A = this chain, B = another copy of it.
């Protein structure tokens, strides 16, 4: 088992990466103590792992309840959040309880937000079961739900007490979701680690082929990069915004075609290509770097172009993204692979003109 740490002073916590952690008794004991446990999962992951997991964490010797949410981004709403809160209140869970999110990014985001707001905050543990959640959303304390008008518009920063990932859960992950997770892995290379990007190019086939060693290294390196960025800027006042590479474009894609049509990672993949292309147009990144980005993502079975959307709809969706400050859309752009930066100082007419091309109009 590998242990990493997210350094946040008194809110520091470990990340454990291992195999078989979910059905091994005692693994969670150091975090749970005598606390009551509420597991939040969904109706896809629950049937696969919930009963074994309950047994492993000692149901019977401690109080363990669960709430099973409908699967998917379309259910990442205030209404679903209400289901988790209702369950905690009905079952009279006290402030010293521990909530465990067992599932992908949506489960982690909703469950984490419930933990952030139930009785003004209880402790929680992230147990991400998808690659995307393991390499991205489970680390760093971002929680929340979508609003009909914008993704993740309602939420909180609430750090977990631990992130425990069992690579065995990837065995049941559909290929499409595996690829979606790899999009965020590529993101770390693009942002700040050119060497890792080159490693990914060398191991793309291993990753798609689910080679355990390659996957473990990709997860580990992704978590290391993310943990470092979060430690430096917990509340996204600066450097953490780099993690949004491809996300302003990507969120606009998801918003325009409806959440859940494309997986989040797929939208981010196409969004990263759009951001890198704009970087090339601005003379910052080299055309060859755009080609390498597209080639790598394509080999990982990810889209490199957005779906058909009108430019007006796309721009409207971009402008309600959270990354808007004082009316300006902040973008993450590249000076090259491994060298991202955040800016709202770019020629927006050029961005729009390129958008027209990118959206195929």
Contact = CB atoms under 8 A, between A and B. Distances in A.
A90 B156 contact: no
A314 to B, nearest CB: 16
A348 B144 CA distance: 40
Contact of A153 (B118, B143, B144): B118
A28 B105 CA distance: 40
Contacts of A235: 121
Contacts of A119: 153-155, 322
A217 to B, nearest CB: 31
Nearest to A90: B149
Q: In the complex this chain forms, how many copies of it are found?
A: 2
A319 interface: yes
The contact size tier of chain A is 35 or more
Given A96-B325, A156-B156, A89 B120 contact: no
Interface in A90-141: 90, 92, 94-96, 116-121
B120 A142 contact: yes
User: For chain A, what secondary structure do more than half of its interface residues adopt (helix, strand, loop), or is it mixed?
Assistant: mixed
A157 interface: yes
A327 interface: yes
A154 B119 CA distance: 5
A326 B86 CA distance: 19
B156 A121 contact: yes
A142 B117 CA distance: 11
A89 B156 contact: no
A202 interface: no
A313 to B, nearest CB: 15
A144 B156 contact: no
Interface of A: 34, 78, 82, 85-86, 89-90, 92, 94-96, 116-121, 142-144, 147, 149-150, 152-157, 235, 319-320, 322, 324-327
Given A89-B147, A96-B326, A118-B153, 4 more contacts: A92-B319, A117-B117, A119-B322, A121-B156
Q: Would you list the 7 A-B pairs with minimal beta carbon distance, nearest first?
A: A120-B155, A119-B322, A94-B324, A89-B149, A117-B154, A89-B147, A96-B325
